[in-house]
Amino acid sequence: MKKMIEISNLSKSFPSPGGEEKVNVFCGANFTLEQGESVAILGPSGSGKSTLLNLIGLLDKPTSGKIVVGEKDLSSLSDREVAEYRNQKVGFVFQDYTLFPNMTVKENLEFALKKGQSQDDINELIETIELTNLQDRKPETLSGGQKQRVALARALVQKPSVLLLDEPLSALDDEMRNKLQDYVLKVHKKYKLTTFLVSHDISEVFKLSDYVIKLENGSILKQGNPEELFLDKKTTGKHKTTGTILSIKNSDVIKII
Ligand code: ADP
Ligand code: MG
């Protein structure tokens, strides 16, 4: 049987800044995914995308509801198991690179090694993510795209099974973003990760994702595969657009018009 990730009746509330009313996110969200899937999370600012990633990565605890990964119910873990899960099972990449500025690329990766882990794991990642020429440089000498490659490699040092990407590509220009997408796709497949990517870019979603979760105001508006969500015949018939095509670019499996 395939291993699943099951989210049931998930909700999270935050105290509001003024203290009167609570901010409620995901009142009773449900979805089931297969491990190894690549999931895009879409939605306007403030819709709960980061909150959802933080709950899945155990950076934060749900107010109620359950997240089950494989056979593990994450809400039943002890504090020690939570820390272990967060460090070893989950890789996080954020929009700001959060690299240590005083360390070289290689040292940044080595810092993430757990006790007794082989240096070979770092060497393999340096090769996979093509960091050989950058490994002795400090982050301040790298471009945004290069830093994000290092952050991606670092997130994978402890061989996580879940990769959480919170808008890591949003600050990059098109060319850089395209390259990074290729690395994300490569590691997703090579390391058989379950990948969650917060994205605003539909071509990126088509390129990288098997499944889409669309949020609005802290609840799930729609979910399904990208074709179902974006190319629904019923809706495309209703929403006709007129315009002038300026260019058609090939971008791997899709064309950007
Ligand atoms: P997104 O990542 O989609 O922009 P977030 O998940 O960051 O959205 O936020 C969802 C909602 O939860 C917003 O209304 C936000 O203000 C609120 N929120 C998030 N984190 C906190 C927090 N630590 N304290 C209070 N409110 C929060
Ligand atoms: Mg966010």
Give the pLDDT confidence of 139-180 residue by residue, as tens digits.
Answer: 999 999 999 999 999 999 999 999 999 998 888 888 889 999
How many angstroms does the Cα of residue 116 sit away from the middle of ligand 1?
38
Q: Which ligand 1 atom is at minimum distance from the Cα of 17?
A: 25
CA angle (155, 82, 184) in 5-degree steps: 20
- Number of helices (H), then strands (E), belonging to the chain: the values are 9, 12
How many angstroms does the Cα of residue 78 sit away from the middle of ligand 1?
25
Specify the pLDDT at position 98. Answer: 86
How many angstroms does the Cα of residue 43 sit away from the middle of ligand 2?
9
The crossing angle, in degrees rounded to 10, of helices 120-128 and 174-190 is 130
Burial of 140 per CB tally in 10 Å (0-12, 13-18, 19+): exposed
Q: Which ligand 1 atom is at minimum distance from the Cα of 51?
A: 6
Centroid of chain to Cα 178 = 16
- Token pair in block for residue 176: 């850089």
Q: What is the pTM of this model?
A: 0.87
Which residues crowd ion ligand 2, with CB under 5 Å? 49-50
- Token pair in block for residue 2: 């395939």
CB of 90 closer than 6 angstroms to any ligand 1 atom: no
140, 141, 143, 147: CA torsion to nearest 10: -60
Q: Which ligand 1 atom is at minimum distance from the Cα of 215?
A: 3
Please report which confidence band the pLDDT of residue 116 belongs to, taking 50, 70 and 90 as the band edges.
very high
